[in-house]
Amino acid sequence: MNGKTILAIAGFIATIAALAFVPFVVGPYGVTLMIGMLGYVVLATAWALFSGPTRYVSLATVAFFGVGAYTVAVFSESIPYPLLLLVAAGIGLGVALVVGIATLRLAGVYFVIFTFGLAELIRQLVTWYEVNVTGTLGRYIFLPITPEGIYWQLLALAAITFAIAWWIGRSRIGLALRVIGDDEVVAVHCGINITGVKLALFGLSCTIITLVGAIQAPRWTYVEPSIAFNPTISFLTLIMALLGGAHRLTGPLLGAVPLFLMFEWLSANFPNHYSIFLGLIFIAIVFVLPRGVLAFIEERWTLWRRNEPVSGRTADE
């Protein structure tokens, strides 16, 4: 470990500690805002954990987010709270492994389509179960959890997610993932167990996403499939990660925070034109920043550095 790494770790711990004190400084609305923002930061980072290096674009975010929310709704009265999160994480992991084994052999657009269908499949399964077995749709969550409590849980989850992402980036498994992303055939020839590696990462990423849903659900009081499995969550997560740059540790963070704040500002100031702006922004991201803000800035930076000495010399002459 060199000095730079230690400094980075110290900075990270200091940031998390500072953020933990935010609820004491800002008002209740500030806390709500931070909850929404942190939720998307964790979702985007967890999404990029798997989809960034492997380049498998997943639209299944809300499938797992919804599984987490629904688990809390179903067991909120029968299982004590901290255990409830473990159960939710376990179910999320189980679903991810089953789905992963079946689908991670798919590649490219087939995987995208499948993951999009997965969210709908799980939603319909839940609906079918509620219609035919319990005879009610919609469940109530009456848990005595304050917004601050939710905020701190999300902050802890964010810290863990960043730590995992950082560790993976430096480990052998991270290298293996990047090889898979660049060329699967080469990866196989290098002796990488590609299915195993992909499955492990997919499971990890999905478990974190499930936990976000489970932590946020008590804020809604009432959960039904159309609420828990809202496909917008998948799309927003994707676009946030892409804006920041899915291949870097802090990329999703830099995408999620500005986009979230902008959505909040748009819905407050242009409630009637929100969708139009949203569409324009999506198009702009794809055309102007296809590889993310971070990559864009780096490219500009190197371009500028390369040009500077040249222009300097011309000035001298």
Partner 1 sequence: MKNLLRRQILRTMALAVSTLAFGFGGVASAQERTSVKIGYAVSKTGPNAGGAGITTIPNYELWVKDVNDAGGLEMPDGKKLPIEVVEYDDRSSSEEVVRAVERLAAQDEVDFILPPWSTGFNLAVAPLFDRYGYPQLAVSSVTDKAPDFVKRWKKSFWMLGGGHDYAEALAKVIADASKAGTINNKVSMISVADGFGIDLVTAARPAFEEAGIEVVYDKTYPAGTTDFSPILNEVMSNGADTFVAFSYPPETFALTQQAQVADFNPKILYLGVGTGFPIFAKNNGANAEGIMSLGGVDPRNEANNAYRKRHEEVTGKAPDYWGSVITYASLQMLQEAIKRKGLDRDAVSEELSTGTFKTVLSDETKFEDNQLRQLWWTGQWQNGVFVGIAPEDRPGASKATLPRQAWKKN
Residues lying near partner 1 in the complex (CB under 8 A): 27-29, 32-33, 35-36, 39, 124, 127-128, 130-132, 135-138, 140, 142, 147, 216, 219-224, 226-227, 230, 232-233, 264, 267-269, 271-272, 274-275
Least distance between partner 1 and beta carbon 266 (Å): 9
Q: Which residues contact 120 (CB under 8 A, 6 or more apart)?
A: 229, 231
Decide whether 163 or 261 has the Cβ nearer to partner 1. Answer: 261
Nearer residue to partner 1 within complex by CB, 38 or 168? 38
Q: How far is the CB of 124 from partner 1 (least distance, A)?
A: 7
User: For residues 78 and 136, which CB has a smaller minimum distance to partner 1 in the complex?
Assistant: 136
Collapse the DSSP code of 71 into the 3-class scheme (helix H, G, I; strand E, B; otherwise coil) and give the result: helix
User: CB of residue 223 vs partner 1: minimum separation in angstroms?
Assistant: 8
Its sign, for the CA torsion 73, 77, 83, 87, is negative
Helix 3-20 × helix 147-170 angle, to 10° = 170
Nearer to partner 1, 146 or 307 (CB): 146
Cα separation, 218 vs 240, in Å, equals: 24
Q: How far is the CB of 235 from partner 1 (least distance, A)?
A: 12
Q: Name the phi and psi angles at 222, rounded to 5.
A: -135, 135
Taking the complex as a whole, the smallest distance from the CB of residue 76 to partner 1 amounts, in Å, to: 14
Report which DSSP code applies to 134.
Answer: I
CB nearer to partner 1: give 195 or 230: 230
Q: Which residue has the tokens 């967890």?
A: 46
Q: Look at the block and give the residue holding tokens 């995987």.
A: 111
Q: How far apart are CA 308 and CA 293, in angstroms?
A: 22
